[in-house]
């Protein structure tokens, strides 16, 4: 947003500060409320995406831990229930992970082979609202409401 800012850079024991000004776009008369609305929209969208990514990664670690634990579980009959219930948990976590993120894409062209999943919808929405004119469309607002419900 157009405003006065101060940034700090720290390296070891040295701290440097620099003040700077971000000016409003000179080609468009944009009300401050549009800048504020765009900023609030992007912050909410990015916070949701960050929250999802943190949870997805935490659950992926749990998923991998359960797989490792079950692999090391003795193959005795008394552990069959733990093993079968663990397998259900693994499948549930795997299914949820696949709904949330696309882990098969390794190179740029893979998006043609593997569809993006839920978190990509938030990234797409962020990118759709990243432009020179700070104005959030009704379609973007409606889409964010839909995604938040999901």
Q: What is the pLDDT of residues 25-51, one digit of tens each?
A: 888 899 999 999 999 999 999 999 999
8, 17 Cβ separation under 8 angstroms? yes
Please provide residue 8's backbone torsions phi and psi, each rounded to the nearest 5 degrees. Answer: -120, 135
Tokens of 105: 């894409």
Alpha carbons within 13 angstroms on the beta-carbon side of residue 16 total 4
pLDDT beneath 70: ranges in the chain: none
CA distance 54 to 33: 31
41, 136 Cβ separation under 8 angstroms? yes
Alpha carbons within 13 angstroms on the beta-carbon side of residue 84 total 6
The pTM assigned to this predicted structure is 0.76
pLDDT for 28: 87
CA distance 108 to 116: 12
pLDDT for 25: 87
CA distance 96 to 88: 12
Helix (H) or strand (E) holding 17: strand 14-22
pLDDT for 41: 93
């Amino acid at each position: 947003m157009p405003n006065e800012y101060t940034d700090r850079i720290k390296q070891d024991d040295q701290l440097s500060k620099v003040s700077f000004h971000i000016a409003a776009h000179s080609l468009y008369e944009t009300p401050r409320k549009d800048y504020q609305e765009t900023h609030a929209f992007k912050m909410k969208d990015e916070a949701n995406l960050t929250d999802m990514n943190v949870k997805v990664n935490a659950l992926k670690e749990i998923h991998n831990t359960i797989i490792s634990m079950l692999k090391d579980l003795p193959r005795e009959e008394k552990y069959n229930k733990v093993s079968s219930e663990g397998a259900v948990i693994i499948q549930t976590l795997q299914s949820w992970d696949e709904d949330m993120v696309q882990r098969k894409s390794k190179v740029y062209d893979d998006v043609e082979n593997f569809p993006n999943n839920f978190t990509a919808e938030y990234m797409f929405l962020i990118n759709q609202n990243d432009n020179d004119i700070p104005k959030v469309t009704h379609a973007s607002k409606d889409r964010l409401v839909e995604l938040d419900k999901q």
